[in-house]
Structure 1
Amino acid sequence: MNSTAIASALAEWATILDESGVIAAGAAKFGASTTGAKRTIPAVLRPANQEQVASVLQVAQRWRVAVYPVSTGNNWGYGSANPVEDDCVILDLSRLDRISEFDAEMGVVTVEPGVTQGALREFLDRHDGNYLVPVTGAGPTCSILGNALERGYGITPITDHFAAVTKIEAILPDGTLYRTSLSELGGEEVDGLFKWGVGPYLDGLFSQGNFGVVVKMTIALAPAPETVTAFFFSTKDDAKLEALVPTVRAVLRALGGSVVAINLLNSQRMLSMMTPFPEDRAVDGVLPADEVKSLANSHGVPAWSGVGAIYASKEVARAARRTLRRLLGPVTDRLVFINRRKVGVARSLSRVLPPRLATRVRGMADTLSGALEIMHGAPNDVALALAYWRSGTLPQPGQPKNPARDGCGLIWFAPLVPIRGGDVRRYINMIERICPQYGVNPLITLTTVNDRCFDSTVPLLFDRRDPDATARANECYRALYDAGQKEGFLPYRLNIDAMGTLNSGGSAFSRLASQLKAAVDPNYILAPGRYVPRIKRSEV
């Protein structure tokens, strides 16, 4: 990047933003990332409203300085706040944190990029909003808007978070305001109630794209049901997996209105939530199969565990429990139902138990309580502890977890897998074959995103202090991607170092995306390299 151009742009940005709005010295600290990625970041800009965002982009166009927007920068395992390419100025949107509209009757809310899962929960509680926040395991400090744009998902209704988006406002790379067609025609209210608008559906360009900076988003919220009942099931026999997988599909099809998602977790993933990493038992960072089996036996961890929730009235919930027993009974060893009342009973019981048993029961109750709160649409950072299993320093109690800041090494591999027993087995074999070759333990979760497809999240955990371990983890991701491409298991989202995989072979998809990008951003100043490859001059 031309140093004169960046200096000139910074001088103009300093007149647009307040004192805290331009960070040049110390900008590199924004590049802390669990993936080990390192980028050259000339500055960080912190606008306070959408008018400032528009002015920032106009200056960027004038001086042809690339900018990279982030909502809160807490994109753990995918690059955190780092841009795809070097020399991009970070556009930190966390100060745009207003909840501008809430229709309690219709269940729609309009948020800016800096609105976090925790902030939305607090807002709904203050305004008697009897709705569920679309939570994820990433924690209360993560952006609602950013997760939806990345097409994130959760275990609560509505599981597909971009599916809940009804309306978008964005600043285009030239600084002009984009609004959806119905809003432009004067139908702002109905626009927030109906996803598709009228005419070509252009909002999708802003999801996993770099066509504009989304400054407002309206989302539909799922109403809180009369009851939320978690169910947990397990099988000790790994050979039952092929029978369990189609049963999960059958459950979703039979109970689709009340059971919206199910997680399957292998024994190593469960152990990561129950015990510190046993470094003394590892060989080159990997737990041998006999050690995994020994640990699993000592902690009572089965080969596969499952979890889901019933969202329904009391009457429907009773019927759903009967259906779950009928369907899951033949392929599982254990099926239990848990709600807040039962967790409370367990905590009360722990007060009269012997100390060692009491500690174990309280720990179990705390874990279950954290899981239940997420199912109730109340975010917490219970699941975020996973990032610290191999490295990183846990913050003091009461302080929010921040895996990037705290030194954790984590890269997510998140491929899509058909809900078929044979396909899942092929996929499991692939993960278990490749990960240990690179010093990575194969921790596997399979989450249903519909009744046809799992998304599997495999955390590549490593010691970020060790450059060799960091390099091996990134090599592991590439090996998994290449093997998955051959087997048909490709990720639904990419980290910043994997964006180039979409630019292979000059596909029609890449050409069209690049041509659209060139039309709205000919100088490529907005998030260059993010999902959309640069167009070649021969293709203009």
Structure 2
Amino acid sequence: MKSTSIESAIAEWVAILGESGVLAASAAADFAASTIGTKRSIPAVLRPANQQQVAEVLQVAQQWQIAVYPVSTGNNWGYGSANPVENDCVILDLGRLDRITDFDPEMGVITVEPGVTQGALREFLDQHDGDYLVPVTGAGPTCSILGNALERGYGITPVTDHFAAVTKIEAILPDGTLYRTPLSELGGAEIDGLFKWGVGPYLDGLFSQGNFGVVVKITIALAPVPDTVTAFFFSTKDDAMLETLVPAVRAALQALGGSVVAINLLNSQRMLSMMSPFPADRAVDGVLPAHEVERLAASHGVAAWSGVGAIYASKEVARAARRTLRRILGPATDRLVFINRRKVDMARKIARVLPGGLATRVKGMADTLSGALEIMHGTPNDVALALAYWRSGALPPPGQFKNPARDGCGLIWFAPLVPIRGKDVRRYINMIEEICPQYGVNPLITLTTVNDRCFDSTVPLLFDRSSAEATARANQCYRALFDAGQKEGFLPYRLNIDAMDTLTSSEARCSRLASQLKAAIDPNSILAPGRYVPRIKHSEA
């Protein structure tokens, strides 16, 4: 990159955005931090305040051939945070585009800009009598609704697949022009927001896990608040029961359809990471030995496998669903309990009259259950973010939002898809448990149903980010898991910024088609180069 080009572009961007809207490289430290340990060279950060400024920024980028990389809030923890895929990209921070531009409380659709967070949407709905659930994730209140949807994130509330809930997209293309869907172009903006597929080729998908435009608005369908939300927790002490438990989970989803939309399975180490500080003095090369895991599990009453889900239904349907869950999950589990807010409040009251240690344990359990229930009720919190700190020191003080990138946490997500079949899950578990310890990583495993056929498994590769050696080993672990998963058929549904080359090095026809489309829309490759779409080779042009 020629320094004169970036200097000239920055001068024009300052004229568009004002001095406060352009941060020099020296002020971009917060954007350069990432939990995966990667730091890109970032020449500047641009902070537009509206859609028109986004268009003008891209026009300047085209003029001076400067690559820009859009982020919504930059809180893409475990995948690269705000860092671009390639060096020398200017960050386009869309956090100031934080308006909710339209809400139809009758139809349950809402239009948000990139800077609208889970917490902001919850506050808006509460203030406007919006009797709907926020499509929450464990990433917490400060994370973007739009950014998560475009990355095809998911949750355990009734709208499980967050991109599936996106009904309409508006984006600024790399040349600064506005993209709208055909129904909106024809004057049907309202009906466009009520029907995902529109008419003609479905082009909105290009903006999901792509780099074809800067999405400045999405309309999403919200799930209404049900009459009751009842959480259920189950466990099995015997690891050999896993092959029986997995098909039971699938059968439960098939039987209960819309009332039970997702179920999580967690291994004992993943449960312990939520209940106990990391015992570094008992670890060997950073990994807890099997006997230590068994000792900790026994002391905390943690089973080999634990599960959690929620029933969203009327009282009558919820009663029937509990009977069905007992019938299906009962034979595969040692314990199945149902929890709601009333029972959590009761546990807190009981804790007040219990003796010291027992009271602390009961209150801690109630607080954990309360946090889980809030998420199930569509209220975001950062309880799940504590995981990122398990190997990285103390949590921020109460009242301060957790920010794993800022706070020095080492976290890389490996998130492969796994068929909901007992034998396949066992093969997958064996793969994770064999590879992770070789790189000083504890095999913490969650399996979340994304439908009644497929799990997405999230494996947090936690490491000491202050150590260059530990950082390198964690990244090597990711590569080893990816390579093994490719052979076994367990491939991730999303990639971190250092793993994009697994697609860009591909000669697959789908990759070539994506590259040809990219070259047509963005011939100078100024928008998020390297993000999911391979650069086209001249011989293919």
Code of the aligned partner of 1:88: C
2:218 maps to 1:217: yes
Q: 1:148 to 1:77 in 2, by over 3 A?
A: same
Indicate the larger mover: 236-245 or 349-358: 349-358
- Alpha-carbon shift at residue 535 of structure 1 (Å): 0.1
| CA–CA separation in structure 2 for the residues paired with 1:454 and 1:8 | 49
Shift of 1:395: 1.4
Matched residues, number: 540
CA drift of 1:506 comes to: 1.3
Matching of residue 13 in structure 1 with residue 4 in structure 2: no
CA contact (8 A) 2:267 2:306 kept: yes
Measured in 2, the distance between the counterparts of 1:120 and 1:373 equals 15
Q: Distance in 1 between matches of 2:259 and 2:147?
A: 27
Query: 1:451, CA displacement in angstroms?
Result: 0.1
Residue matched to 1:432: 433
Cα distance in 2, alignment partners of residues 291 and 461 from structure 1 = 18
Q: Which residue of 2 aligns with 1:188?
A: 189
Whether contact under 8 Å (1:135, 1:154) holds in the other structure is: yes
The 5-angstrom pairing of residues 503-514 of structure 1 reads 503-514=504-515
Distance apart, 1:393 and its partner CA: 3.9
**Identity over the aligned pairs, expressed in percent?**
85
Q: Could you report, residue by residue, the CA deviation over 1:228-287 in whole angstroms, capped at 9, with x for unpaired residues?
A: 000000000000000000000000000011000000000000000000000010000000
- CA deviations 1:49-83 (Å, max 9, x no partner) are 00000000000000000000000000000000000
Aligned to 2:234: 233
Aligned residue identity for 2:8 = S
* Map of 2:105 onto structure 1: 104
Instruction: List aligned pairs for 1:518-533, cutoff 5 A.
Output: 518-533=519-534
Using the size of structure 1 for normalisation, the TM-score is: 1.00
**1:30 Cα deviation (Å)?**
1.1
* 1:377 aligned residue: 378
Residue 392 of structure 1: CA displacement?
4.4
Distance in structure 1 (CA, Å) of the matches to 2:236 and 2:109: 40
Q: How does 1:402-441 map to 2 (within 5 A)?
A: 402-441=403-442
Please state if 1:58 is matched with 2:59. yes
SS of structure 1 residue aligned to 2:41: coil
Contact 1:392 1:403 survives alignment (8 Å): no
Cα deviations by residue, 1:507-530 (Å, 9 ceiling, x for unpaired): 101100000000000000000000
Q: Which residue of 2 aligns with 1:73?
A: 74
Does residue 201 of structure 1 match 2:202? yes
Report how far residue 18 of structure 1 moved: 2.4
* Cα distance in 2, alignment partners of residues 2 and 186 from structure 1: 44
Distance 1:518 1:134 in 2: 34
- Of 503-512 and 309-318, more deviation after overlay is shown by 503-512
Q: Is the 8 A contact 1:139 1:379 kept in 2?
A: yes
User: 1:505–1:111: structure 2 CA closer, same or farther, 3 Å change rule?
Assistant: closer
Once the two structures are TM-superposed, the CA of residue 126 in structure 1 deviates from its matched residue by 0.2
**How many Å separate the matches in 2 of 1:110 and 1:392?**
39
Aligned to 1:481: 482
The equivalent of 1:456 in structure 2 is 457
CA–CA separation in structure 2 for the residues paired with 1:27 and 1:348: 48
Distance 2:315 2:299 in 1: 37
**Scaled by the length of structure 2, what TM-score is found?**
0.99
Instruction: Work out the CA distance in 2 between the residues paired with 1:157 and 1:59.
Output: 42
Q: Show the counterpart of 1:23.
A: 23
- The Cα of 1:37 is off from its aligned counterpart by 0.6
Q: Which position in structure 2 is the counterpart of 1:160? A: 161
Alignment RMSD (CA, Å): 0.6
Q: Which residue of 2 aligns with 1:142?
A: 143
Distance 1:257 1:397 in 2: 36
How far apart, CA to CA, are the structure 2 residues paired with 1:3 and 1:203? 36
- Secondary structure of the 1:156 match is coil
Distance in 2 (alpha carbons) for counterparts of 1:260 and 1:103? 24
Looking at structure 1, the residues matched to 393 and 114 of structure 2 have their Cα atoms a distance apart, in angstroms, of: 28
SS at match of 1:457: strand
Q: 1:468 to 1:326 in 2, by over 3 A?
A: same
Deviation at 1:157, TM superposition (A): 1.1
Q: Tell me which amino acid in the other structure corresponds to 2:383.
A: V
Equivalent AA in structure 1 for residue 212 of structure 2 = F
Secondary structure of 2:259 counterpart = coil
Partners of 2:504 and 2:530 within 8 A in 1: no
Mapped pair 1:303 → 2:285: no
> Bigger CA drift: 80-89 or 354-363?
354-363
